[in-house]
Amino acid sequence: MKRNLQMKPFMFITRRQRRGLFYLTGSIFLLVMLTFAIRLFFQPTIPSDPTFENEIAAHTDATEPEATAVNFKAFPFDPNIINKAQMLELGLTNHQADMIIKYRDAGGWFYDAKDFGKIYAISDAEYAFLEPYIIINRQHQNAAENPKAAPTILVAFDPNSADSMQLIALGLNSYQTTNVLKYRRAGGIFSIKKDFSRIYGIDADTYHHLEKQILLPSEIAPEAGDVPTKRDAAAYMELIEINTADTLELRKLKGIGRVYAHRIVSYRDKLGGFFDKSQLLEIHGIDTNRYAMFAPQVVIDKSAIRRINLNDATFDILLQHPYLEYYIVKEIFNYREAIGTFDSVAQLKEISLIYDQLYFKITPYLTTAKRKDQP
């Protein structure tokens, strides 16, 4: 009872205090309403700064997604015959043009515009823009199957690099063209003109018709003034194993000096070794003429090839290989994550981006077996 009497003064509000509380509450309410009224009836004028606005616009443009800005020089084209220069003129990137050519070289054919949109490097936005300009010429398809029905275009060509449409334009049928590409994918190389006549389906008439247009020597022979004497004949024909040879040994190859010897070693280290001598043509500066000079001296020890284990390789290790690009490595890792482990290298064929030509090139450098020193 005594405690309640002590607390009573603190729980009592006088009339003056009640009046003050009423005025305070009313003032707060009026201030809130005044704030809303000012925003409703009075719009403040913000000073304009053109420089600042231009900077904002430039930043907005720079951060726009690339897919929303399709920058092409539109003109009608047939994806089955357009060449790389025309693709670049159209607005495609170098990578996109290479992907289209690789698809055609692997035997791919665009039967309608939708097939072009299936190319991995072509985005949906880019395809949507280009689709109205895609023209599939059925005469080109007929020419691939029956070249006698269409006129041939005789131009100089290198059978080691000509793509499928170039071969068809020269008058080869689809069977002959496919055999040329299969021979190259299997590691074959055309060293002299007559090598072209050995392709299945290339008859004598076809070869003689094209012989003068083939950019290869007629035979492998030392150049004038470069014929070896009896004294150095043994050194001239000395065989060199290119997977273990150092730069001094490589310089014994005909036409290979210090610079090319270092390029061979550098490229060999990136690859992990050579599995076919024709890979030497991938080195900058080594063309078919130079290759023809030293090819008979080259031998390969495939056991010296350094292989990458698909099941424990890191992303960076696979990406460092010259034959693998970022988007290919990403798909390999996505597939490995989905299946757990690779049972064999052949499972790479189940990845849509691994086309036949790439598969044959990369498989000698891959394995799924553990080394003996691994647990």
Tens digit of pLDDT for each residue in 267-319? Answer: 999 999 998 888 898 898 888 788 888 888 889 888 899 999 999 899 999 99
pTM: 0.42
* Three-state SS at 241: strand
Tokens linked to 285 = 């500066």
Q: Give a yes or no: residue 60 inside a domain.
A: no
Q: Looking at the structure, tell me whether residues 244 and 280 fall in a common domain.
A: yes
Place of tokens 């490097």: 121
Are β-strands 308-309 and 298-299 bridged in parallel, bridged antiparallel, or unpaired? Answer: unpaired
Q: What's the confidence (pLDDT) of residue 24?
A: 83
pLDDT at residue 330 greater than cutoff 60: yes
pLDDT tens for 190-228 read 888 888 988 888 888 888 888 888 888 877 654 444 444
Q: Looking at the structure, tell me whether residues 91 and 132 fall in a common domain.
A: yes
Taking the C-alpha atoms of residue 359 and residue 186, their distance in angstroms, rounded to an integer, is 10
Please provide the average confidence, as pLDDT, over all residues in the chain: 77
The CATH number that applies at residue 255 is: 1.10.150.280
Question: With contact defined as beta carbons under 8 Å apart, do 78 and 137 qualify?
Answer: yes
Q: Give a yes or no: residue 223 inside a domain.
A: no
Q: Looking at the structure, tell me whether residues 271 and 250 fall in a common domain.
A: yes
pLDDT tens for 149-197 read 444 555 677 888 777 767 877 778 777 887 888 888 777 788 888 889 8
Tokens linked to 336 = 């490995």
Q: What's the confidence (pLDDT) of residue 228?
A: 45
Beta bridge partners of 240: 298
- Structural domains in the chain (count): 4
pLDDT tens for 241-278 read 999 999 999 999 988 999 999 999 999 999 999 988 88
Q: Give a yes or no: residue 195 inside a domain.
A: yes
Q: Exposed (0-12), middle (13-18) or buried (19+): which is 288, by Cβ within 10 Å?
A: buried
Q: Lowest mean pLDDT: which of 19-33, 37-51, 273-287, 314-328?
A: 37-51
Q: Cite the DSSP H helix spans in 146-203.
A: 164-169, 174-185
Question: With contact defined as beta carbons under 8 Å apart, do 137 and 131 qualify?
Answer: no
